Structure 1
Amino acid sequence: MAVVIVQFAPEEHLGAVHAALEAAALDTRVFRAWDGELPDGLVGVDALVVTGGPATAGGVELLRRALAAEVPVLGVGPGAQSLAVAAGGAAGRHQAAGSGSGSLRVTPASDSDPLFAGATPQPSRVRYPLGGAGEPPAGAVALVRDEHSRAQAFRIGGSAWGTADLEPWRQQVPARFAALVAARAEHTATRTFFTQRAAAWEDRFAHQTPAYEAAVARMRLGRGQTALDLGCGTGRALPALRAQVGGEGTVLGVDVTHAMLTAAARIGRLACGQLLLADCARLPLPPGSVHGIFAAGLVDHLPRPRTALREWARVSAADGTLLLFHPSGRAERAARHGRPLSPDDPLAEPNLRPALDATGWRLTVYDDAARHFLARAVRAR
């Protein structure tokens, strides 16, 4: 994994960004766009820093893909204008060539921004590009304006920032961006992988729906209860969960990838339950509020399975049910990937049982069959 820096002219210097990324132990890869270098895609990319202007079509397309996958982005100088264009805004309207001078003011919205909270420009009166950071699209958050009310820094969603000039903020913004990139690296990899596959996911795996229905049936939930599908993807388990808890029950589908939830909504899964964008290890739910948790193909992809299992126990009611499932057995999956079964696999019973015991669960069923994997646990009292 690495932070990709796309530079569009040899004279561009991002020393503060390089230093901050290095201090956060993040690798960097520099692409020299003036020599025709651009990344092939976003696989293996923790974050993107872009300095090129809105006329660079390749840079704009790369930014669009990064925005869709919620890869952290920092657009600097003309790169901020490229970011604005990629998000549906426009490049800045220059009154004349070159730069102007004046004062910058932070907006109230900056008070809660991960990068600009508490920031003050150093010095307070600065030179800035006359075109500003471009004209961000509707919904973007203006963080810094100049004395003519032009945006000099903005945020799009929760993962992309543009600033006309990094120099006034060099004491804070680069370091905060690097810290944010490091903290989100695990989710960034997940979102990048699944975003590009979300549109075709349901059609590709629709044949597995009967296996999901059979697995959900083994949860034995009651009508009126609350069921949670973690890492729900396009929501293949949601109809079966709704059937178990009935119309008076509650069904929640949780995923960390926005594109997957969008695909789920497009194929009608909102009729089965609510969709929630959230980290499965930090659920925005009160303690004891869930009666059944379904998690398909999730545990063995988590960097800290016990942390997640402990969180799931927190939100589970007494005697709540946890069902871990995969439509392929462990041996079948290993063979498909050309590797032997690993003794370190968190789903191997010698690993899974103590992990459940230590996090508030009691394993009641362990079924690692040729064509499916299923483990059922109940919330320990």
Structure 2
Amino acid sequence: MSQPLAAARTAAGPTRQPGVLVVEHVPHEGPYAIGAALEAAGLPVRVCRTWAGDPVPDTLAGAVALVVMGGPTAAYEEFTGRAAELALLRAALAAEVPVLAVCLGAQLLAIAAGGRARPGEAGAQIGWGEVRTGQDARTDALFADVPERLRVLHWHGDTMDLPAGAALLASCDRYPVQAFRVGGAAWGLQFHLEVDKAAVDAFAAAFPEEAATAPRLRESAAAELTEPAPHRDRVFDRFAALVAARATRTANRAFFTPMAGTWEERFAADGPVYESAVARLGLRPGQTALDLGCGTGRVLPALRAAVGDEGVVLGVDVTPAMLDAAARHGRTGHAGLLLADACRLPLPSATVDGIFSAGLINHLPEPATGLREWARVTVPGGVLVLFHPSGRAERAARHGRPLDPADPLAETNLRPALHAAGWQLAGYEDATRHFLARAVRAT
């Protein structure tokens, strides 16, 4: 991003520990096997126990996934926290934060995506029953290899009408919508695939009257769970692996997406200093330039002016909402906009003449990987400019902290990192009013 994540986070207030946010509505509808899979993948879990009075968070900042569990309320009726949960689900869909939603959670996901939840005409569906996986499940990231018929635990009386474009993954005769996917990273399960025997016992104890209508619900739990267990584990392990693989990207998207609409206005005064920094690239007409972490694309006009109409300019960012904002501000007239990970650029080697990056390297999980990738796409003699409109000491003082000796922009860290990646540091300025490092691709 064109403004450091740390600065923006401080302005917005303290952030929560990154991890998976789990929203629980009742104690006996916990994550169970979902939580076990997340823990096995090394993902910290933060549980919002709405049943105990925990307020639903108003932001997904720091969250790498959202899990919304079931409960006894109806998704189409008002209940405490409903509006906040729908807002979180909509934010997750907008930022492509992975979502796993069960029962009530699945119904809320359908509503958040533009569908609806409604009372089921066939009455309550409680107990063990079979669902059938559909064609879309064959290629689904979670449901691939799940058998065509799977025995699961049902405990609901409501159903859903899915939004346009949702993929139906599993169904049954009584209620056709049993599992679905919205977009590429949000899944809803009407049934309870996550349960173990302790969970079944908790269900039965919490709702004895309903349990009485489902013969052998508790007594048969161990036997009934034997068949779906390996498929259950595979589904949740795949979800955990997906979350872990894209955790850094997800956290950045979750933070920046809600700010994309006002980002340009918040930092409008920085325009002239960014233009001066772009000039340090020394670009010539006809060359190719990248803005990595371009945000809303404020420097793209300056890059276009430097390379002329015959040159090539690309703005690269990992947050779709930022690129959407760049397009709204007319930046497509100056550059192509590319949604991509800055550490895995979909570009040929040795094709870029200049790279501008403001406030990005501190937020890469492995800065050395980024520097190597940027060297790969840059021609020998090409130039890299790392910039920020404030010096390191000024930023640290503004945020009430000392300079971090591990900061990748500290000269003692940056110089050897650049050298190892194939760059030579040609200039280093850590002044009060700006930071700028200029490096040249080794020949």
Q: TM-score, normalising length from structure 2?
A: 0.79
Deviations 1:259-281 (A, max 9, x none): 21122111111111121221111
Aligned pair 1:34/2:51, yes or no? yes
Distance 1:62 1:36, change over 3 A: farther
Checking the alignment, whether the CA contact within 8 Å between 1:133 and 1:162 is kept in structure 2 is: no
Helix, strand or coil for the counterpart of 2:261?
A: helix
Give the alignment of 1:134-173 within 5 angstroms.
134-146=160-172, 150-167=176-193, 168=228, 169-173=231-235
Q: CA deviation at 1:46?
A: 2.5
Q: Aligned to 1:318, which of 339, 362, 380? A: 380
Aligned residues of 1:290 and 1:315 also touching (Cα < 8 A): yes
Residues 14/345 of structure 1: CA separation in 2 closer, same or farther (3 Å cut): closer
Q: 1:54 aligns with which of 67, 75, 85?
A: 75
**Structure 1, residues 177-216: CA drift from partner, whole Å, max 9, x if none?**
1222222222222122212222211111011010111111
From the CA coordinates, give the structure whose radius of gyration is larger: 2
Q: Which amino acid aligns with 1:319?
A: G
The structure 1 residue matched to 2:266, chosen from 170, 183, 204, is 204
**Aligned pair in 2 of structure 1 residues 227, 133: CA closer, same or farther (>3 Å)?**
farther
* CA positional deviation for 1:112: 3.8
Find 1:105's aligned residue among 133, 136, 139.
133
Equivalent pairs: percent with the same residue?
58
- Of 210-219 and 262-271, deviating more is 262-271
TM-score by length of 1: 0.91
Counterpart of 1:318, as a letter, is P
AA aligned to 1:276 is L
1:320–1:379 Cα contact (<8 Å) kept: yes
C-alpha distance 113-293 of structure 1, shift in aligned 2 (>3 A): farther
Q: Which runs of 5+ in 1 are unaligned?
A: none
Instruction: Say if 2:350 is the partner of 1:288.
Output: yes
Q: Any unmatched runs of 5+ in structure 2?
A: 1-17, 77-81, 194-227
Residue 114 (1) aligns with residue 176 (2): no
Note the C-alpha offset of 1:380: 1.2
Q: How many residues align?
A: 379
1:112 and 1:317, CA in 2 relative to 1: closer, same or farther beyond 3 A?
farther
Distance 2:286 2:165 in 1: 38
Shift of 1:10: 3.7
Mapping 1:212-223, distance limit 5 Å: 212-223=274-285
Which whole-Å CA distance do the structure 1 matches of 2:153 and 2:391 have between them? 62
2:159/2:175 contact within 8 Å kept: no
- Structure 2 counterpart of 1:87: 113
Mapped partners of 1:145, 1:286: distance in 2: 45
Selected match of 1:25 from 28, 34, 42: 42
